[in-house]
Each structure stands twice: as C-alpha cells, then as structure tokens.
Structure 1
Amino acid sequence: MAVERTMTTRAAASNALRQQRFVREVTIQYNLCNEPWIKYSISIVADKGLKKPLYTSARLKKGEVLYLETHSCRYELSFAGEKMVKAVPASESHDTETEKSQNHLLHSTNEEKTDGDNIMTDVFRWSRCKKPLPQKVMRSIGIPLPPEHVEVIEENLDWEDVQWSQTGVWIAGKEYTLARVHFLSKD
C-alpha cells in the first residue's frame, strides 16, 4: 500500500508541475505613487499569439497607453497617429535609412498602402512624465497626458524603433531599464 501512495503522490506532483508551466507569473509592485502595478516582464508587453488585436502596438493604436517606470522615472508610450512615407523601390537607393525603410515596408503589419508612391505608417511617441501622478489624476487630465505634463523624448517612432528586452526597452538606440509597467485607457 505504501508503494501505491508514493506513486500516486509522484503522479499528482508531476501533473501539478505540468500545469504550472502554463501559468504566467505576475508580480505586483508599488509604483512611484504607491499604487499597485505589474513588475516589468517582457511577457507583459510581448505580442500574444497571432491575432493582431492582441499585439501591443494594436492595443496602443486602439487608445490604450503604456506607462513604464524605472526606479525613479515614469515614461509614456503612446500611439501618435499615422504619417505618409515615400515608398522607394529597392533598385533606386542603397543607403541605410532607405534600407531600414524598405525592410520596414516588407515586414510591418501596421501599414496601409495608399498609392503607388506613398504609404501610411503608424507612428508612436515616447515621453518622460514630468511628475508621476496617481491614476485617478491622470485619467482626469487625459490619457495620453497633455503636453504640459510630459517631455517628449522621441516622436514619429516606427514600431521597429521600440525593442523590448528581458530588462527593459530600447527606444531609438537608448536603453531604459524598467521596473514596472501598466496599460491605461482613456475610459
């Protein structure tokens, strides 16, 4: 009988371990205003599956704003609209900026072609919040925050200029080591 119990216990433990592998770990931390936010993890901002509405960029385009904190500063990543980009055929130029643009044209999912020479592309804004404000105050003054509450660091960012890592985010070549993350919507 003792042998059967041990095997049953081992099987139950093995089954529990298998189930835990699919559970996403979420750790809560207190933000710079002493409110509960999620500890930064790449899994929070990573695209979820193959459905475009679950992509972080799509969430931002639909009106959500991503607030990210280091241990001392709060940043805002928001959708800034669309801009017209001239489509350049590969045979016309070989400079790195054009190659980046062409590569973007081939691989981006956030664009809509408008005519033979130009396309519309989504652009994003990276800002530092001048002062961390409680969520209730932020919602009352507006999401994304109005210009008097932020210092815009990068405008007209391509989504490819935002590179997530295990420890933070690279924006236009500069690394920001992140501690906390929170999506907020206008509503």
Structure 2
Amino acid sequence: MSGIADQGLRSSQWTSARLRSQTLYLETSRERFELKYQPPQEQEERQQDLYQLARCKCALPLATMKKLGVPMPPAEVEVLQSDVAWDEFKWSNLSMAVRGQVFHVVRMHFMANSKPGGGGGGADSSS
C-alpha cells in the first residue's frame, strides 16, 4: 500500500498526478499489467483525468522495455479497461480492483515514460 499511497498533500505528489510522467507496472504471480495516464484526445475537454489498464502480452526484460518505450506500444499490450477515473481504482495491501476485476499484486514499480529507443525509462521505485 505504501508504494501506491500519495507522497504528500500537494497535488503534484499524488500518485494520480505522478502517472502523467510515469507508468505503473503491476505484477501478479503470472502476469504483468500496465496502468497509464490516458491523455485527452484533441479538442476533448475533461472534468477529470482518465487512465488505462492493460495486460502486457509478455513480461519483457527492462532493457527491451526501454527500447520499445514506456508506456508499451499498443502491439505489446491488451487493453482491459480504458477511460477509468482514478477513484474507480480500489487499492488494498495485496490487491487492486477496478470495475469488478481484482488483481492480486505481488510486485509493482513505476517507470518514467520514454520514447522508443531507450531515452529515460528507468525504474523509479518498487514494492
């Protein structure tokens, strides 16, 4: 829980704001999932930020992820949920739930968003 908890009272320290520049990878005992900020489409006005949860088709090594770019290209993930408001995610010590799906998380880490080719993208933190 401490890995996902907001880091302070300022909005820039909130996990939801952190996802504007980083992508969160959640791992169960069998799969890896990607949680990322979903930027508004051109000329779209929003009242709140939205996020996308996807299953990584393959749990790739860190070096390969850096080459492909973070978040992963669409061909590398299967979108499970899109247009998800932050308050739809329910976090507990060992799991994350969204829209009726529960994921038993054993590991999670943030990675800085990067373009293909390895610019940036190092692992930021783990839990």
Q: One fold, TM greater than 0.5?
A: yes
Within 1, Cα distance between the matches of 2:97 and 2:36? 15
* 8 Å contact kept, 1:82–1:121: no
How many residues get paired? 112
C-alpha spacing 1:66/1:77, structure 2 compared with 1 (3 Å): same
Within 2, Cα distance between the matches of 1:134 and 1:159? 28
Structure that is richer in helix per residue: 1
Give the superposition deviation at 1:119. Answer: 4.4
Match runs of 1:49-128 below 5 Å: 49-61=8-20, 63-82=21-40, 119-128=46-55
* 8 Å contact kept, 2:90–2:96: yes
Within 1, Cα distance between the matches of 2:94 and 2:26? 12
Q: Residue 140 of structure 1 aligns with which residue? A: 67
**SS of residue in 2 equivalent to 1:43:** coil
Q: Residue 95 of structure 2 aligns with which residue? A: 168
Cα deviation, 1:50-107, whole Å, max 9, x if unaligned, reads 021111111101x200001000000000001137xxxxxxxxxxxxxxxxxxxxxxxx
* 8 Å contact kept, 2:89–2:96: yes
Q: TM (normalized to structure 2)?
A: 0.82
Q: Structure 1 stretches (4+) deviating beyond 6 angstroms?
A: none
Within 2, Cα distance between the matches of 1:141 and 1:49? 32
Unaligned runs of 5+ in 2: 115-119, 121-127
Unaligned runs of 5+ in 1: 1-41, 84-117
Cα deviation, 1:124-145, whole Å, max 9, x if unaligned, reads 0000000000111101111100
Is 2:77 the counterpart of 1:150?
yes
Structure that is richer in strand per residue: 2
Q: TM (normalized to structure 1)?
A: 0.57
Question: Which structure has the larger Rg?
Answer: 1
* 8 Å contact kept, 1:82–1:120: no
